[in-house]
C-alpha cells in the first residue's frame, strides 16, 4: 500500500481539478504549497485574508472554475468575512483554513475562536477535516457543492493551526476527479416541457414584455440565448449589474442596467412592461430598486436553477426550474418568431435616446476638475474589444453600470457584489484566470484604500492589472446621506464623515514598483489609459475628479 501525505494529495488534487492559482494569507498548508509549486500551481501570497478571498472570487467568476483560498487558524474569521462577496455573487469559491487540534480546543488556545459560526452565514457547505483519510472525499464534496445547483462558497477546516496535521499525515489516499464538478454549472437541468409550453404561450400573448437578465445568465454562459430570444420575439432587454454585457449596449434591444445602480431608461421600460421575464435573477432589492421596478402585480415569468427562488419576490405566472442556458434553448425551440411589437420596441428605444440625450453633455464635459461621467465615456472609448472591466461597489458600480458602454460581444464585466475594496484584489484574481486579456479595474480612492497593499502583491507577481481610480478624495456616495443627517445640527460638519486627504495614488503606485500616472484634465485620460496598458505592468491611472460634482443621480422609481 503506497502512502501519500495530505500535502502531496492536496496539490495533486487541485492540479487535477484544473486549479492554476491559489490565494494564500500566510501561514497555511506549507507542504501542499511546496508540492503545488513543482506541479505548476501558482501560490499568490496576499497581505490579508479578505483579499485572498476576493482574489479567489475574481478568479472563479472569470474562469467559471472554483477559486481556492487558504488562511491559517487565526485568520479564519477574516477569511470568512471575505466570503461575503462570493456568497452574494453566487461564486464557486473553496476556502480552507487551519484549526487547532482537539486537545487544544476548549482551553483558550492562543488566537483561536470557534470557526463554524463565522462560516455558517457565507457558505453552502462547511466541514471539519480531522483525519487525513477524510481529505479525498471531503475535497471532492467541496468541488461538488461549489459548482452544482446555485454555485456558492464552501469551507474545509483542516486540523492543525496551519493545517499541518493534515498536510504532514500519511494515508492511502486515492485521487478521484469528477469532471462534472471542475467548472460551473456542473449540470444543466431543463425546465419541464409543460412549463416551457406555458411560458411560450404567455410570452406570445404579451404586448410589452421585457427580459431582465441576472447573474445566472453569466454563470450559465447564456448570453447568446438571451439575445437570440430577444431578437426572435422583439423583446427589450435590461440586465442586472451581474449580467452587464450579456447584450451589448449598442444593440437596438438593449435598455441598460435596471434597478438602483441603473439607467433611468431601463427602469422606465421595466416599469411599463406588461410581462417581465427574469432569467437567473434573484429579484432582490438592487435589481428591482427596492421591489418597485416592476411594480407589485406585474405578471412575471422566472427562470432559475434554484427552485426556492421562483416566486420569492414576485408571484410567477410561470415558473421555469432549470439552468438558464438549457431552459432558454428549450423555450426558443418551442416558439415561433413573431412581430407586432414595433410600437413597444420603438417606445423602449425612445426612452434610451432620451436618456442618452440627457447625459450627453456630462459625458462630453470639459470641466476641470473632471466629472465621473466624462471619465466613464473615455473608458468606453478606450476599452479593448476583449477587455474585462472589473468594478468595485458603491459609486464605482453605479458609474460603470450606468455610464460605461460595452459595445463589443468580447467584452466582459465583473462587479463587486457588496464589499467596498473588493475591486483591486478581485481584479488581480480575474487577471490570474485570464492572463491573455486586458483587465481594467475601476474603483474610487475610498475603495482603493481598503486593500491598497495588494498593489505590491500585483507587482511582486507581475500581474498587470490596470486600476483606474475615480479620485475625489472621499466616500462621495455617503455625502448625500451625511448632509441630510447633519443638516439640523448647528455647527456640525458632515464632511468629517466622507472626506479624505488628497493623496496622489500614482505616486503611491510608483513607490511600490507599479506604473503610475495622474490625470487632472479630461483630454489626457485616453493617453494615460493607453500608456498604462502598454506598460505591461501593474498600473494605476489616478484621475482627479470633482468632490463637489461627483454624486450619482437618484435612481428612477414610479
Domain with 229 in it: what CATH number? Answer: 3.40.50.1220
Total H helices, total E strands in the chain: 23, 20
Query: Looking at residue 129, which CATH number applies to its domain?
Result: 3.40.50.970
What pairs with residue 515 in β-bridges? 539
Local structure of residue 554 (DSSP, 8 states): P
What pLDDT is recorded for position 103? 82
- Domain final residue, candidates 182, 213, 231: 182
Q: Parallel, antiparallel, or unpaired for β 170-171 and 4-5? A: antiparallel
Residue 474: Cβ-neighbour burial (10 angstroms; 0-12, 13-18, 19+): buried
What is the mean pLDDT, run by run of 10 residues, along the chain of 558 residues? Answer: 93 98 96 98 98 98 98 96 97 97 84 89 97 98 97 97 97 96 97 98 96 98 98 97 98 98 98 98 97 97 97 97 98 90 97 98 98 98 98 97 98 96 98 98 97 98 98 91 92 91 97 98 98 98 94 93
Same domain as 304, residue 222: yes
Please report the pLDDT score of residue 1 as a whole number.
64
Pair (401, 494) in one structural domain: yes
Domain boundary among 134, 161, 182: 182
CA distance 183 to 167: 25
In the beta sheet, which residues pair with residue 159?
Answer: 99
pLDDT for the residue 2: 83
Q: Is residue 93 part of a domain?
A: yes
Based on the domain organization, do 150 and 202 belong to the same domain?
A: no
Domain closes at, from 163, 182, 201: 182
Q: Are residues 302 and 281 in the same domain?
A: yes
Domain identity same for 158 and 244 = no
Q: Do the domain assignments include residue 553?
A: no
- Residue 54 CB contacts under 8 Å (≥ 6 apart), including other chains: 82, 85, 419, 421, 422, 425, 426, 429, 451
Number of domains in the chain: 3
Cα–Cα distance, 519 to 330 (Å, whole number): 50
Collapsing DSSP to helix, strand or coil, 366 comes out as coil
DSSP code string of 416-469: -SS-TT-HHHHHHHHHHH-TTS-EEEEEEHHHHHHTTTHHHHHHHTT---EEEE
The boundaries of the domain holding residue 267 are 193-348
Q: Are residues 387 and 515 located together in one domain of the fold? A: yes
In a domain? residue 498: yes
Same structural domain, 443 and 482: yes
**Residue 523, number of CB atoms within 10 A of its CB:** 12
On the question of a cis peptide bond just before residue 339, with omega within 30 degrees of 0, the verdict is no
Looking at the domain assignment, is residue 187 inside a domain? Answer: no
What is the structure's pLDDT at 104? 84
Alpha carbon distances (Å) from 283 to 107, 135, 257, 286: 46, 37, 14, 8
The answer for residues whose C-beta is within 8 angstroms of residue 395's C-beta and 6 or more apart is 372, 444, 470, 476, 477, 550, 552
Record the cell numbers describing residue 379, joined without a space: 473608458
Environment class of 211 (CB within 10 Å of its CB; exposed 0-12, middle 13-18, buried 19+): buried
Contact 494/478 with Cβ under 8 angstroms?
no
550 belongs to a structural domain: no
Q: Are residues 322 and 248 in the same domain?
A: yes
Residues 238 and 261 in one domain: yes
Residues 8 and 121 in one domain: yes
Rounded to whole angstroms, the Cα distance separating 380 from 383 reads 6
Q: Is there a single domain that holds both residue 459 and residue 381?
A: yes
- Three-state SS for 35? helix
Q: How far apart are CA 474 and CA 461, in angstroms?
A: 30
Answer whether residue 555 is part of any domain.
Answer: no
Cis peptide before 428 (omega within 30 of 0): no
* 8-state DSSP, 258: -
Contact in structure between 46 and 24 (CB atoms under 8 Å): yes
Residue 97 belongs to some domain of the structure: yes
**Are 431 and 295 members of one domain?**
no
Domain-embedded: residue 223? yes
Structure-block grid coordinates of residue 271: 416599469
CB 125 within 8 A of CB 151: no
Distances (CA, A) of 63 to 58, 260, 409, 438, 455: 8, 28, 17, 14, 22
Does the bond joining 185 to the residue before it have cis omega, within 30 degrees of 0? yes
Amino acid at each position: 500500500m503506497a502512502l501519500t501525505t495530505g500535502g502531496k494529495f492536496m496539490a495533486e488534487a487541485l492540479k487535477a481539478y484544473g486549479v492554476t492559482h491559489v490565494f494564500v494569507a500566510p501561514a497555511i498548508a506549507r507542504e501542499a504549497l511546496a508540492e503545488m509549486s513543482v506541479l505548476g500551481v501558482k501560490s499568490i501570497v496576499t497581505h490579508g485574508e479578505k483579499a485572498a478571498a476576493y482574489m479567489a472570487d475574481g478568479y472563479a467568476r472569470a474562469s467559471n472554475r472554483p477559486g481556492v483560498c487558504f488562511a491559517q487558524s487565526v485568520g479564519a474569521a477574516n477569511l470568512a468575512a471575505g466570503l461575503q462577496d462570493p456568497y452574494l455573487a453566487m461564486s464557486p469559491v473553496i476556502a480552507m483554513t487551519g484549526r487547532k487540534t482537539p486537545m487544544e480546543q476548549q482551553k483558550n488556545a492562543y488566537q483561536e475562536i470557534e470557526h463554524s459560526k463565522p462560516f455558517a452565514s457565507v457558505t453552502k457547505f462547511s466541514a471539519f477535516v480531522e483525519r487525513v483519510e477524510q481529505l479525498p472525499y471531503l475535497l471532492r464534496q467541496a468541488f461538488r457543492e461549489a459548482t452544482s445547483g446555485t454555485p456558492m462558497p464552501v469551507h474545509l477546516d483542516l486540523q492543525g493551526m496551519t493545517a499541518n496535521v493534515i498536510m504532514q499525515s500519511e494515508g492511502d489516499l486515492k485521487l478521484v476527479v469528477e469532471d462534472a464538478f471542475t467548472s460551473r454549472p456542473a449540470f444543466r437541468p431543463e425546465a419541464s416541457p409543460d412549463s416551457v409550453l406555458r411560458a411560450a404561450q404567455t410570452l406570445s400573448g404579451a404586448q410589452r414584455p421585457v427580459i431582465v437578465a441576472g447573474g445566472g445568465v453569466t454563470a450559465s454562459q447564456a448570453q447568446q440565448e438571451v439575445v437570440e430570444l430577444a431578437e426572435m420575439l422583439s423583446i427589450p432587454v435590461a440586465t442586472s449589474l451581474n449580467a452587464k454585457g450579456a447584450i451589448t449596449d449598442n444593440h437596438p434591444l438593449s435598455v441598460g442596467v435596471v434597478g438602483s445602480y441603473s439607467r433611468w431608461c431601463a427602469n422606465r421600460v421595466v416599469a411599463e412592461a406588461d410581462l417581465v421575464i427574469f432569467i437567473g435573477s434573484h429579484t432582490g432589492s438592487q435589481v428591482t430598486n427596492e421591489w418597485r421596478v416592476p411594480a407589485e402585480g406585474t405578471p412575471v415569468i422566472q427562470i432559475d436553477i434554484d427552485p426556492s427562488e421562483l416566486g420569492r419576490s414576485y408571484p410567477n405566472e410561470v415558473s421555469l426550474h432549470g439552468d438558464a442556458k438549457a431552459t432558454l434553448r428549450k423555450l426558443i425551440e418551442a416558439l415561433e418568431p413573431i412581430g407586432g411589437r414595433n410600437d413597444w420596441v420603438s417606445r423602449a428605444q425612445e426612452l434610451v435616446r432620451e436618456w442618452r440625450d440627457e447625459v450627453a453633455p456630462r459625458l462630453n464635459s470639459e470641466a476641470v476638475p473632471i466629472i465621473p461621467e466624462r471619465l466613464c465615456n473615455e473608458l468606453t472609448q478606450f476599452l479593448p474589444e476583449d477587455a474585462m472591466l472589473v468594478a468595485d461597489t458603491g459609486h464605482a458600480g453605479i458609474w460603470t453600470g450606468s455610464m460605461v458602454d460595452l459595445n463589443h460581444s468580447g467584452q466582459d464585466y465583473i462587479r463587486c457584489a457588496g464589499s467596498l475594496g473588493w475591486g483591486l484584489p478581485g481584479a488581480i484574481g480575474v487577471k490570474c484566470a485570464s492572463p491573455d486579456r486586458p483587465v481594467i479595474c475601476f474603483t474610487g480612492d475610498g475603495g482603493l484604500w481598503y486593500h491598497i497593499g495588494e498593489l505590491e502583491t500585483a507587482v511582486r507577481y507581475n500581474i498587470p492589472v490596470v486600476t483606474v481610480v475615480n479620485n475625489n478624495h472621499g466616500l462621495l456616495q455617503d455625502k448625500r446621506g451625511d448632509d441630510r443627517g447633519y443638516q439640523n445640527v448647528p455647527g456640525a460638519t458632515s464632511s468629517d464623515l466622507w472626506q479624505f486627504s488628497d493623496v496622489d495614488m500614482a505616486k503611491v503606485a510608483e513607490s511600490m514598483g507599479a506604473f503610475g500616472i495622474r490625470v487632472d484634465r479630461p483630454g489626457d485620460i485616453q493617453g494615460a489609459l493607453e500608456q498604462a496598458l502598454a506598460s505591461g505592468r501593474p498600473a494605476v491611472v489616478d484621475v482627479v475628479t470633482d468632490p463637489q460634482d461627483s454624486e450619482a443621480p437618484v435612481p428612477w422609481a414610479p
